[in-house]
Amino acid sequence: MRIINEETVRKYLTMSAGIRVMEDTLKALSNEDVVQKLRMSIHLEENNIFGLMPSYLKYKNVFGAKVISVFPENKKRFLPSHQGIVVLFENTSGQLVAIVDGEGITAVRTAAVSAVATRALSREDSEILTIMGTGVQAKSHIEAILLVRPIKKIKIWDYKVDYAEAFVETLRSELDLEIEYYKSAKDALSESDIVCTVTSARTPIIKREWLKTGVHINAVGSCTPDAREIDSETMRDCTLFVDSLESATHEAGDYLIPLKEGIIKEGHIKAEIGHVLTQKKAGRTSDEEITLFEALGLSIEDIAAAYYIYEKVQQ
């Protein structure tokens, strides 16, 4: 049995590799070549969560689970909001083969999934990217989206001004692109081609009237039925894609709240992204369409990433 630390995770699970692994994993989901359960969670104080996410990859003959804590206010402690491990078993004897650091996996696989969706759903000529949030996923999403679209300008928004300004300065030192911080979410969203919401917000940070025609949105931050980043009018007007239909209809506040309000109806979800990747369902159908990808985060993504790293270590 191997114990694989964060340094080794980041060595092997590059963003490019993560995108390839996540695309294969989402295709396997659409082909019913995996088994997964909805995340099981205990709600702690102050909106903190302890979660267990089990799954079985039939096509890899491995199974396992991610054990994770989600503490949204950890930025104040200079700690990541998501911390945990992935335990990996082989399916011949049931042997535990690896315990893998979960923080490094989460940082890459979440953004890699968004990149897969962005490549499938956004306009190919998308040049302006808005990132809403300044945590670990903000930086990971920038790295990922730059690999799939010809971005020329990055717009940053976060209600925590000090964090956002420091984040922008770091980005400017690393990237030869136009990068600006906006105190107004409306201004940050104006004219953007791609938007990634990676916040711990519990109420909408996006309003429909702030979005231009043809934008693509990756809604990533919210993963509980009572929290959302997207307003009901945006959800009403978008073409909605999800990572997992089962997860979205049980966990996605972005979808469930406007459904309860009567703003949208059951059946509003057009497809799982895996069905688009396998060409079972259509993706974007026009340049004017607003597409939205609702990412809840799936256990199969963690197990697939952990197994990819394990195989690399074994070689």
pLDDT tens figures, 12-35: 999 999 999 999 999 999 999 999
Give mean pLDDT, residues 282-299: 97
- Asked whether the beta carbons of 292 and 231 are under 8 A apart, the reply is no
Residue in the structure block whose two tokens are 């030192």: 173
Strand partners, 63: 56, 89
Provide the pLDDT for residue 59.
95
| pLDDT (mean) for 83-105 | 96
How confident is residue 72, by pLDDT bands cut at 50, 70 and 90?
A: confident
Residue 136 or residue 279, greater confidence: 279
Tell me what pLDDT residue 74 has. 87
pLDDT digits (tens, 9 = 90+) for 47-63: 899 999 999 999 999 99
In order of start, what are the domains of the chain with their CATH numbers? 2-106+300-314 (3.30.1780.10), 120-298 (3.40.50.720)
Comparing CA positions, the residue from 112, 115, 111, 137 lying closest to residue 126 is 115
- Whole-number pLDDT of residue 76: 81
Question: Contact, 215 vs 293, CB < 8 A?
Answer: no
Distance CA 213, CA 255 (A): 20
Share of the chain above pLDDT 90, in %: 91
List, for residues 216-237, the tens digit of each pLDDT value: 999 999 888 999 999 999 999 9
Give the burial string for 21-33 (b: 16+ CB within 10 Å, else e): bbbbbbbbbbeee
241 near 252, Cβ under 8 Å? no
- CA-to-CA dists, residue 134 to 65, 137, 156, angstroms: 28, 7, 8
For 86, list phi and psi in degrees, rounded to 5: -120, 125
CB of 207 closer than 8 Å to CB of 231: yes
pLDDT digits (tens, 9 = 90+) for 116-172: 999 999 999 999 999 999 988 999 999 999 999 999 999 999 998 988 999 999 999
pTM, entire model: 0.94
Q: How many helices (H) and strands (E) does the chain have?
A: 11, 15
The answer for residues whose C-beta is within 8 angstroms of residue 20's C-beta and 6 or more apart is none
- Is a pLDDT exceeding 80 seen at residue 300? yes
